[in-house]
Amino acid sequence: MALVGVDEVDLPQWTAVDQRVADAGLWRTVQALPANARVVIGLAMRASRKLSLVTGLLKIVTGCVTAFGLLATADVLNVLLAPGSLSVNVVDSLPAVGVVVAAYAARALLEAASAAAEAVLKPRVEQSVHENIHAAVARVDLIAFEDSDYADLLRQCMKDGVRSIEYSIDAIADICGSAVQLVAAIVTVGLLHPLLAPVVLLAVVPTVWASARAAKLSYKSYLRMVTRNRRQSIASGLVTERATAAEMRACTAGPALVEEYQRIGRQLTAETQRLELARTRVRLAGRAAAGVGTGASFLILGLLLHANSLPLALAGAAVVAMRMASTSLNATMFNVNFFYEHTLYLELYTTLLEQTAARTRPTSTITAPAAPARIELANVSFTYPGQPEPALHEISLTIHSGQIVALVGENGSGKTTLAKMITGLYLPSEGTVRWDDTDLTEADEYSVYDRIAMVMQEPARWPMTVHDNIRMGRLSRDDEEAVKAAATQAGAADLLAENKVLSKQFTGGRDLSGGQWQRISVARGIYRQAPILVADEPTAALDAHAEDAVFRSLRALATEPDRTTVLITHRLANIRHADQIVVLDKGRIVEQGTHLDLMAANGPYAALYSVQASAYQPA
């Protein structure tokens, strides 16, 4: 039985697209190569036009010089094997020998230069690809992160997609060089005897087929193993990361998790073995057929010699040119195949950008009101991606500025989800959310976010100083006094005075207790100074004094002009003074009113309140 995830899970949806690519026939795949090459070359050109051109040019010139050197070698043989005295032939061949030496020297220099240019180009392309991904993902709609398919695609792309682009650059650069050599060799062979060129080409066909087939086998296996690989990396994280270190020990779950890691590892190894066996079979078949092809090409050369269709002097040159044609054809095909193998992974990058664009809210010229006087939800329903049931059902609610609205209800009743609808972080699946007359679906998302301050239930733990953790509330605001005031109101003044970097990932950094993190999160929300303040269980981890102080601060903030405050808390005593208490149950509003109204109604709220109050009564 699986411990991490389940053994037989559906493949993520994005693999369906890639599966189609993997299943496509060889011809369709070859047809797709130019388009993929354009993507990679486009990325390289955008990263550095000059370096890309220099790299390509150097590769082509290197190919030309190599071809020239090999043809000069053929020329040397041609002169040496010519009829007449060998000593005279040796002297006659010296100029050609000089050309060979010069060509090899030039090739060495050019290879060094092109390797240097490529080495500088690749990190730039990698950086630019990462920048593209980060810029796109930073704008993707928040709900995309709740879709495990998208999250998985993003992870795979960061892991394999970007690396494949680097490999593709290598391959394209090498194709430029080897293709030039190939053309030179085929032309030479063809000039020596027209029959030889097609024979050389035919000899390489089986190798091409075998390499392409092997690449497809690998990629199909990669797609099959995607979920298992992910589960193994999750299991690895559970054993090795700090977040689970304490609880894993306290639960004595270490051996079970290590065993789970090993178990998934065994499944992966079995798949790798299966794959390698299949690949070896395919490669061996290709090699055998290619060997027969090469033998046939030399047989034909022998027959031509025998039939006196080719003089011996030219046969020496033909052997060199044929070797060169077959080597450069093999090299070109190896590179084309290498490129092809990586273009399959390149699909991850293009799919990610497409999916990210599809999940990004369109830009809008409609700006959200600076300080909405009214927030109105009309028949709002919301379903999380991949979930069968809505988390919110037909919610209708109006909130006026100046009000404190409290959302209460049992765990999982929909409070956090509703807060995200009110603030436009999520858009409704059905119904509308309006701020004044602006439908949030149509508004520019950044103008919406600009108006909100969220004290999250699980606040971000920014790996920064305390000061910057607070300033993250609004980086565009530069107000030292306000940072101090926010820290004081949230009970984080001592932490600010110490101002350590809050991350154990840095030397000298420190971590905080849950309650201390919460104080900093409240300070950040206060510092943000937004017209709509939402605090989602802001005091769940705070001690009684701190809780009291934070609620006093939030109530004081709520009295500022044009401020709308939404509080979520399970400690009902803190929201007795709220202007409106909204009680949720299973995603529906079941009661609404002031504390006095709801107590008088003697419904679910009164029941919850009485349970809490009774805990403070004398036995």
The contact set with ligand ATP (CB under 6 A) reads: 146, 384, 387, 391, 409, 411-417, 457
Nearer to ligand ATP, 393 or 471 (CB): 393
d(CA 294, CA 485): 82
DSSP 214-270: HHHHHHHHHHHHHHHHHHHHHHHHHHH-HHHHHHHHHTT-HHHHHHHHHHHHHHHHH
Q: In this complex, which beta carbon is closest to ligand ATP, that of residue 148 or of residue 233? A: 148
How is residue 190 written in tokens?
A: 């063809």
Of residues 456 and 550, the one with the C-beta less far from ligand ATP: 456
- Token pair of 594, please? 């002031």
Least Å from the CB of residue 264 to ligand ATP: 24
Query: 360 is written with which tokens?
Result: 């990004």
- Closest by CA to 416, choosing from 374, 445, 458, is 458
For ligand ATP, the closer CB: 367 or 457: 457
The smaller minimum CB distance to ligand ATP, of residues 260 and 591, is found at 591
The token pair at 615 is: 């805990």
- Residue 159 or residue 588: which is nearer to ligand ATP going by CB? 588
Tokens 């065994």 belong to which residue? 266
Least Å distance, CB 494 to ligand ATP, is 29
In degrees and rounded to multiples of 5, residue 112 shows phi and psi of: -65, -40
Residue placing its CB nearer to ligand ATP in the complex, 182 or 391: 391
60 or 590: CB nearest ligand ATP: 590
CA distances from 242 to 238, 294, 396, 512, 577 (A): 8, 59, 43, 14, 41
Q: How far is the CB of 457 from ligand ATP (least distance, A)?
A: 6
Residue keyed to tokens 């993507």: 39
Shortest distance, position 147 Cβ to ligand ATP, whole Å: 9
Q: Which two tokens stand for residue 574?
A: 């803190």
CB of 568 to ligand ATP, least distance (A): 7
Q: Encoding tokens for residue 353?
A: 């950008």
| Closer residue to ligand ATP (CB): 100 or 568 | 568
The CB-of-577 to ligand ATP minimum distance in angstroms stands at: 21
Alpha-carbon separation of residue 545 from 364, 532, 551 (angstroms): 45, 26, 10
Q: Name the one residue in this structure whose structure tokens are 């090899």.
A: 104
Strands across the sheet with 564-568, in order?
Answer: 452-455, 532-536, 564-568, 404-409, 580-585, 588-593
Contact assessment for residue 355 and residue 150, using Cβ atoms and an 8 Å cutoff? yes
The distance of closest approach from Cβ of residue 610 to ligand ATP in the complex, given in angstroms and rounded to an integer, is 19
Q: What type of residue sits at position 22?
A: A
Give the nearest distance from C-beta 140 to ligand ATP in angstroms: 15
**Residue written as token pair 């039985």:** 1
Q: Give the Cα separation of 338 and 329 in Å (integer).
A: 14
CB of 427 to ligand ATP, least distance (A): 15
Identify the CA nearest to 111 among candidates 178, 47, 46. Answer: 178
- Of 216 and 230, the one with the shorter C-beta distance to ligand ATP is 230
> How far, in Å, are 27, 226, 241, 346, 352 from residue 18 at the CA level?
17, 12, 32, 10, 12
- For the beta carbon of residue 413, count every other beta carbon within 10 angstroms: 22
CB of 582 to ligand ATP, least distance (A): 11
Smallest gap from residue 569 Cβ to ligand ATP (A): 9
Cβ closest to ligand ATP, residue 76 vs residue 392 = 392
